[in-house]
Every structure is written in structure tokens, then in C-alpha cells.
Structure 1
Amino acid sequence: MPSTDVLHEYTVPLTMRAIVLPEPNEQINLADVELPVPECADNELLIKVEYVGLNPVDGQFAKSGFCKWQYPHILGLDAVGVVVKASKGIFPNVGERVMWHASVGDQGVLSEYTKVPNYAVSVLPAGLNPAVAAILPCAGMAALISLDKLSISEGDTILIEGGAGAVGQFAIQYAKQRGADVFATASKRNHKLVKQLGADMVFDYNDKKLCEKIRRELGPQGFDAVIDTIGGESTARNIELMRFCGKIACLNPLPCFDQELMYRRAPNISVVSLGGAWLANSLCAQQRLSFMGNLLLEGACNGDIKTPTLTAVEFNAQAVSDALNKQLAGGFTGKQVVHVAP
């Protein structure tokens, strides 16, 4: 019988199940392992993980690796769980259910237990499904940061690329709440969904006459702002569709820009990086993750924000590998959630 530590009403084992990436690989081959339960510093919470929300970035890094990782590496960034250990006087208290976006540079959250600084979590409101809360951080926070960087306000025109993706779904709704006129791109089969979320106009991103059709609806002035969730060649195209000195928030690596385009459009380019809050060791930025988490939880709880459709994923290496590969294959509009523990 393994020895245990008794903490309040919780019994915490010495070891835990986890899903790890043995090394980066194109197939996203993962492994089920047994690891020690992490030790916490004074300002850290020990959390029993309940749900983990999967994101495309999880699959991308599983293939390419990340410069800060040592292997084997526990995957996963978005989670909900219950605090089972906290130093005296630290909030949230033991027994609280919390949501957070974890540091990309540290071990992830696809494990039965994990640790996180207390100032980076958000406490779930009563009545909110914890599985729903687990899908909010990465996509929801990226959407909120993008809109803040663009300073979206009433009457602005904004183009949201990938409107049916999770970031796009949140961005459309929050942009409408701020009074913007929202244009979005999506595959034709997802136009109904994107319009139901509040987009004023939706365009098929596979349409060879996309720019021509956008200009016909928008007029000659160009967009005030763009949220570019796609990257690559579409980034330059989107800048072409913006007004002079318009703003663009980019969620993927920037391409090499044609200097004539830069000179003619003089765009204000912002890079959106949730992981930067951790990698820059910015306490203020990490606390802001908590504030945004509170906003997302409130919106989901009171129905102001519609969340993407959930798909349950089993807590084992093969199921998570299959789920991540499915996300990267494209065309997936919902969110996948791993049920780690009841």
C-alpha cells in the first residue's frame, strides 16, 4: 500500500498518471507514464486535475518540440481542477475549483495532479460545467488580447479570419459586444454557425474572388482592424484589405512582407502570445490571464458567450494523440476536452 500525505480532507498520493511526449515526432506518438506528484513552492497551488482542454498549439508543439522543454514532457495548457494543497493564507483555498492557462515553458497539465501559481488562476462560478470552463482559456484569452491590442470600439469594421475556429468564435462575439461591424471568413459549411454567433458578413476563404467580394461589401475604405488566425500568405492579403494605418493582430508567425505593401498601408502589426506572459516572467501579464479568465467564466456562466461544441476525449495517450491529429487536420470547429478525473 503506497504511503500518502493527508492534506485537510484530501489524500494526495506520491505518484500520478500522466501523458507525455517522449520526444517531438510528426505522428504525435505519446506515452502513458507514472510520475511523482509535483512539489509546490509557497505561492503555488497543488491541483487535482479534472478536465484538460486541447488546443492546436498542443499538437503543433508535439510535432516540432519547444525550446524550453525537456523530455519526456507533459502536454496540455488549459485545465480545470480542484485545489488540494495551498499554503496558509493563500487564495484560492483548498476545495476551490479553478481554471487556468499554464506556462508553455513548464510541464503541462495532462496529469492527475499539477501545480500553478495562485495569482494565475480563476475560481469557477457555481453552476458552470467544469468541462466547458476547460475550453475557455487559450482561445478565449487569445480573442480578448487581440481585441484589446486592436482597441476595437463601436463602429469599427473588423475582419476575423477563421471565424468558425475557437478563437474566431470568441472574437466574433466579443467584437459585437464592443459595437464593431464584424466580417469573417469560414468554409461554406460553417457560414450558418458564424452568422449565428453575430457576424454581419461571412465569406468563403476558398473563394478565388474573396478580395473582390469583400471590397464590394465593405466599400473602398478598407477594414479598421483584422484578427489574423491563419498566418502565411493570408497575412499580406489582409493588410492589403485594411485602411491606411489599420491594425492587425497576428496569432501565427509573421511572413516576409513586401516593402511596397508596408509603405503603402503602414499597418500597425501586433503579435498575440499567451505564452509570452510566462516566458517573459511578467507577473502583471500572468495576473492578467486570471482577470481574463474571470471575464470568460462570467460570460459563459450567464450565457452572454456561446462556447464551442465539446467533444470528450479519454485520458490515455492514444486517445489524446488521435484528438490532436484530428485538430491539426483542419475543419474542426469544436473543442476537445480530456476528462482526467471525476
Structure 2
Amino acid sequence: MAPNNTLQLCDLPNTMQAIVLVEPNEEMILSKIELPLPQCDENEILVKIEAVGLNPLDAQFAQTGFCKWQYPHILGLDAVGTVVQANKGLFPSVGDRIMWHSSLAEQGVLSEYAKVPNFAVSVIPETVSSNIAATLPCSGMSALIALDKVQITEGNTVFIEAGAGAVGQFAIQFAKQRGADVFTTASKRNHKLVKKLGADAVFDYHDKKLCDKIRTTLGPQGFDAVVDSIGGETTVRNIELMRFCGRIACLKTLPTLAPELMFRKAPNISIVSLGGAWLANSLCAQQHMSFMNKLLLENVANKNISVPEISIIDFDSESISSALRKQLSGNFTGKQVVEIK
């Protein structure tokens, strides 16, 4: 029985199935185990998970682990499901279908049930399927944050690395909404895809004369802004391609940057970190994620943006482990979504 101040959709089990990392390992070998049902605090809601979107970050941490984790750790960050238990007066309420990007420091969402603070979620419109919604949080919010940090406005030239990746696909579409001229990289087989999304110029990232071809197309002035999802030496190259005092949003850790390059380009460098909203205990940032997810959902519902091609993954340890390895194999352009039935 639920407490008197708690609303509950149905009788709930005492345990649940979950996909866990027993310990970090290079092969990303996972296990499916039975765990107790999460117990919610006052402002938390319990959700029956329907779909989980996989991300490269899930694969990376399956190999390395994370300093805040205790093991076995439930993997997964992007969740969609139906609220099955909530205290009276909380919104969203029991029966609402919601999505969210969960805390990196807490247990993940590759499980039959999960708990989440009510202020960090977004209610999904009826016209948006659970699988489509599961593609949005990490990739979509990363794209929005990156474009906000580089202050994209009408007429800006923006260079979006890896345009066929999930973040790149969302970034291209939102940059075009803001009136930017979009340049991007992709393998030749994905040039048609990124042009369909709105890219004005596409370059083969394998091309040894990439920088020369970009400068020929762009002109001598350099990019106003860059969205860099690759990192390493690619970040150094991208700063070289920017105008003086240009703006770059980096989704990966910064490499060592030569002082001469910093003086010559004086770049405005921003870091994109969704996990920071939770790790910094910033209530404002967590609520802002809810607002961004609502914006993503509205754009999908209104057919203003499209989502990457979806591959359905079974809710078992071997299928998910294989899917995570594919996340890091390169040339992956879609989104993998785990269905939990």
C-alpha cells in the first residue's frame, strides 16, 4: 500500500530488472540483475521506464567508470517513461509520460523503474512516441547549449564538426533556425543527409586538404563560431579556422593549447557539460534542462526538426553491450534506443 500522501498508478513490485556494470571493463561486459525498487524522497517521482536512449558517454563510462559510482552501477542517462508514484501536489502527476536526462552521479535508467526529481523532467506530447523522445535529451540539449554558448545569431557562419552524428544533426537544424550559415564535416556517404538537414557546405573529414578547402569556400575571415564534438587536435585545428575572437563550444576535454595560438586568435572557449548541472547541485541548471527538453519536444511535435534514424535494442545485457561498442566504433549516425517492456 502507498502512504496516504502518495498517489500510485497500480500495485508495484518490490524488485526490478536492471542492466548494470559490475566493474568498468574495456569490453563493456554488462549484467542483468534483480534490484530493490527505488524509494523516492519528498520531491521525487517513480517512473516505469519505457525507452532509454544510448549515448557515447554511456559507452565511455562503461569502460572507465566514474568517480561517483558505486558498483554494481545501473547504466543509462536518457529516459522516457510513465509516472507510477508521486506525492500529492507534485507535477507531473501519476499517469503522465515524461522524459529526462538523469544525474551522472546517481544510478542510471537502464532498469524497469527509476526515480527522478519532479522539477527535472518534461511531459511528452501525445503525438511524440516514446522511442523518438528517447533520442532527444543528451544529444539535443548538448546541441542547444553549444549554440547558446557561441551566441549564434542570424548571418553568423558556424562550423559544426561531425554533422552526421546525433549532436551534429540537431545542431545543424537549430543553427539554421537561428539564421546561421552552416558548414559541417561528414563522411561522403552522409553528405546527402546533412545537406537535407540544412547544411550549406559539407566537407569530407577524411580529406587531407580539408582546411584549404574550407578556407577556399569560406574566405579569409574565418568562422564566427564552432561546435566541436571531437576534441583533441581537432580543437586546435578548429581554433585556427576561426576569426579573431571567434567563439567555440567544446563537448570534450580541452587539449593543450599553444600560447602563440591563444594570443593570435584570442578565442572565446566554452565547455558543454550536461552532467555539471547535477554534479554542481545547481537547481537552476537542472530546471533549465527541463525547459530545453520541452523545447526539443515541441520542435519535434511541430515537425520543425527531425531526429536521427532509430535502431531498437533489446533490454538484455548482451544486446546493450554490443550496442555500446558500436557507439565508439565510429561512423555511427543514428540513435540506439533500448525498449523496456
| Mapped pair 1:82 → 2:76 | no
Indicate if the aligned counterparts of 1:16 and 1:113 stay in contact, CA closer than 8 A. Answer: yes
Distance 2:111 2:2 in 1: 18
Indicate if the aligned counterparts of 2:80 and 2:97 stay in contact, CA closer than 8 A. Answer: yes
Aligned to 1:152: 152
Distance 1:252 1:188 in 2: 24
| Mapped pair 1:272 → 2:293 | no
Aligned to 2:319: 319
Where do 1:164-179 residues align within 5 Å?
Answer: 164-179=164-179
TM-score if structure 1 supplies the norm length?
0.98
Indicate if the aligned counterparts of 2:24 and 2:65 stay in contact, CA closer than 8 A. Answer: yes
Aligned to 1:64: 64
**How many correspondences in the alignment?**
338
Distance 2:8 2:44 in 1: 17
Aligned to 2:205: 205
Q: Mind listing any 5+ residue stretches in structure 2 that lack a counterpart? A: none
Aligned to 2:259: 259
| Mapped pair 1:101 → 2:107 | no
| Mapped pair 1:282 → 2:282 | yes
Q: Residues 307-340 of structure 1, C-alpha deviation per residue, up to 9 Å, x if partnerless?
A: 0000000000000000000111011100000001
Where do 1:102-121 residues align within 5 Å?
Answer: 102-121=102-121
Q: Residues 240-269 of structure 1, C-alpha deviation per residue, up to 9 Å, x if partnerless?
A: 000000000000111001111111000000
Report how far residue 294 of structure 1 moved: 0.3
Equivalent residue of 1:11, what SS? coil
Distance 1:253 1:191 in 2: 27
Q: Residues 131-185 of structure 1, C-alpha deviation per residue, up to 9 Å, x if partnerless?
A: 1001100000000000000110000000000000000000000000000000000
Report how far residue 16 of structure 1 moved: 0.1
Aligned to 2:33: 33
| Matching residue's letter, 1:172 | I
Q: Residues 57-109 of structure 1, C-alpha deviation per residue, up to 9 Å, x if partnerless?
A: 00000001111111110000001000001111000010000000000010000
| Matching residue's letter, 2:305 | I
Report how far residue 5 of structure 1 moved: 5.8
Aligned to 2:228: 228
Distance 1:81 1:129 in 2: 11
Distance 1:171 1:96 in 2: 29
Indicate if the aligned counterparts of 1:5 and 1:12 stay in contact, CA closer than 8 A. Answer: no
Distance 2:11 2:150 in 1: 47
| Matching residue's letter, 2:55 | N
Distance 2:236 2:8 in 1: 56
Distance 1:123 1:9 in 2: 17
RMSD of aligned C-alpha atoms? 0.9
Report how far residue 9 of structure 1 moved: 3.6
| Matching residue's letter, 2:281 | N
Q: Mind listing any 5+ residue stretches in structure 1 that lack a counterpart? A: none
Q: Residues 40-69 of structure 1, C-alpha deviation per residue, up to 9 Å, x if partnerless?
A: 001001000000000000000000111111
Indicate if the aligned counterparts of 1:83 and 1:97 stay in contact, CA closer than 8 A. Answer: yes
Where do 1:116-155 residues align within 5 Å?
Answer: 116-155=116-155
Distance 1:120 1:100 in 2: 7
Report how far residue 8 of structure 1 moved: 3.6
| Matching residue's letter, 2:88 | K
Indicate if the aligned counterparts of 1:124 and 1:297 stay in contact, CA closer than 8 A. Answer: yes
Equivalent residue of 1:10, what SS? coil
Indicate if the aligned counterparts of 2:2 and 2:8 stay in contact, CA closer than 8 A. Answer: no
Report how far residue 130 of structure 1 moved: 0.9
Equivalent residue of 1:49, what SS? strand
Distance 1:148 1:68 in 2: 29
Identity %: 67
TM-score if structure 2 supplies the norm length?
0.98
Distance 1:98 1:9 in 2: 15
Indicate if the aligned counterparts of 1:5 and 1:13 stay in contact, CA closer than 8 A. Answer: no
Equivalent residue of 2:11, what SS? strand
Equivalent residue of 2:100, what SS? strand
